[in-house]
């Protein structure tokens, strides 16, 4: 699994256009909403200043990438194992990193509009863990499943993550792709648009830090 730069995801996002060689992550498995894990154990508070979510969107000839802020959340740990948790993303914080000036402002404004994430109506996104399983392969230490709420849709996604736990801190990273159209973000998803076509897949990279 390549280190990315979640969720998420938002996002996932993208008014973008990206080259066919754009970075890729594990394909997240998508299912209907599941029951959120109640979780047991100690609370670790997500640290906004140590957590981040990055996105890459692609089209036929170019790409755009940027970030979103993770604002709050809690992870539960018992017997050195992650049992539950959730975190919130400020979608209005969406920032593009590869453009400057007028073009940067136009792209960010379009992504925040009703064509994409409609931040006026849906200013936040949320991820809530529903299941955690240990992995024995090279994609990560754990398989994480959770409900991702974006705009007015909620879907359950499963992806590999690398999780480390100490007495005082939890660190987790994940790199995966989601299909934005499953959350109603459909703009530009028409191959007849040719070079203006925007791929439905969005690469999301999540870095999460939580402290006791």
Please write the tens of the pLDDT for every residue from 149-177. 999 999 999 999 999 999 999 999 999 99
Please write the tens of the pLDDT for every residue from 110-140. 999 999 999 999 999 999 999 999 999 889 9
Please write the tens of the pLDDT for every residue from 171-211. 999 999 999 999 999 999 988 888 889 999 999 999 999 99
CATH architecture assignment, domain 26-211: Beta Barrel (2.40)
Which pLDDT value is given to residue 192?
82
As a whole number, mean pLDDT of residues 40-61 equals 95
Q: How confident is the model at residue 18 (pLDDT cuts 50, 70, 90)?
A: very low
Tell me the DSSP string of the chain. Answer: ---------S----S----TT----EEPEEES--PPP---SEEEEE-GGG-EEEEEEE-SS-EEEEEEEEEEEEEEEETTEEEEEEEEEEEEEEEESS--HHHHHHHHHHHHSTTTT-TTT--EEEEEEEEEEE--STT-SEEEEEEEEETTEEEEEEEEEEEEE-SSEEEEEEEEEEEGGGGT--TT--GGGGGG---SEEEEEEEEEEE-
Which pLDDT value is given to residue 20?
46
Q: How much is the mean pLDDT over the chain? A: 90
- Picking from 8-12, 44-48, 53-57, which range would have the lowest pLDDT averaged per residue? 8-12
Q: How confident is the model at residue 60 (pLDDT cuts 50, 70, 90)?
A: confident
Which pLDDT value is given to residue 10?
36
């Amino acid at each position: 699994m390549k280190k990315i730069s979640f969720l998420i995801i938002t996002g996932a996002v993208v008014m973008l256009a990206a080259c066919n060689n754009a970075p890729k992550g594990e394909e997240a498995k998508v299912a209907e909403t599941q029951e959120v894990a109640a979780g047991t154990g100690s609370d670790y508070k997500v640290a906004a200043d140590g957590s981040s979510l990055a996105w890459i969107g692609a089209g036929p000839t170019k790409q755009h990438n940027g970030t979103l802020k993770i604002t709050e959340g809690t992870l539960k740990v018992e017997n050195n194992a992650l049992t539950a948790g959730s975190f919130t993303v400020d979608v209005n914080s969406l920032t593009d990193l590869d453009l400057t000036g007028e073009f940067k402002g136009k792209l960010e404004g379009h992504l925040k509009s009703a064509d994409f994430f409609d931040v006026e109506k849906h200013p936040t996104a949320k991820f809530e863990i529903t299941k955690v399983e240990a992995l024995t392969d090279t994609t990560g230490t754990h398989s994480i499943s959770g409900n991702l709420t974006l705009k007015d849709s909620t879907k359950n996604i499963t992806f590999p993550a690398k999780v480390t736990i100490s007495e005082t801190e939890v660190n987790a990273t994940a790199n995966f792709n989601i299909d934005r159209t499953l959350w109603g973000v459909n703009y530009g998803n028409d191959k007849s648009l040719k070079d203006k076509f925007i791929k439905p897949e969005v690469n999301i990279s999540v870095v999460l830090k939580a402290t006791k």
